[in-house]
Amino acid sequence: MIYRRIFVFTSGETVVDTATEKIVHAQPWRPRSSVYVCDTCGLTYARLEVWAGDRLQPFETYLMRCEQCPADLVRFQWPGSIIREWDEHFNDGLPLEVLQREARIHLKHRRK
Ligand SMILES: [Zn+2]
């Protein structure tokens, strides 16, 4: 199946439209759209729209941590990241611009 993905980050600097691409997806159902909500301040810090033709796929919510809030030391996840450590297909399919954003976040927190 061919999908279009649009990544929007509310920090404002990044909107990535992947145009049309094939998503490698392990599950038998269609990949869903996502919103990433900060579990500390409530900010929706990222949004991923997945389009199958002209149909926006239903959203699922991930409670993680935004860039402005302190890291959750229990979970190994950098604030602001959208990486899903439990979903390698999702991570492997992230476009270059999103991976560059992830690298910036990781470097920022490694320096602290
Ligand atoms: Zn927050």
pLDDT in tens, 30-78: 789 999 999 999 999 999 999 988 999 999 999 999 989 988 776 678 8
**pLDDT at residue 25, rounded to an integer:** 59
Measured in Å, residue 37 CA sits from the centre of ligand 1 at 8
Q: What percent of the chain has pLDDT over 70?
A: 84
Residue 8: in which H helix or E strand, if any? strand 2-9
**For the whole prediction, is pTM greater than 0.85?**
no
Measured in Å, residue 70 CA sits from the centre of ligand 1 at 8
Q: How many other CB atoms are found less than 10 A from the CB of residue 99?
A: 12
Q: What's the chain's average pLDDT? A: 84
Measured in Å, residue 57 CA sits from the centre of ligand 1 at 26
**pLDDT tens profile 31-44:** 899 999 999 999 99
Measured in Å, residue 7 CA sits from the centre of ligand 1 at 19
**pLDDT at residue 92, rounded to an integer:** 85
Sign of CA dihedral 40, 42, 43, 44: positive
- Average pLDDT estimate for 92-105: 89
φ/ψ (deg, to 5) at 106 = -65, -45
Residue, of 101 and 11, whose pLDDT is higher: 101
Measured in Å, residue 69 CA sits from the centre of ligand 1 at 4
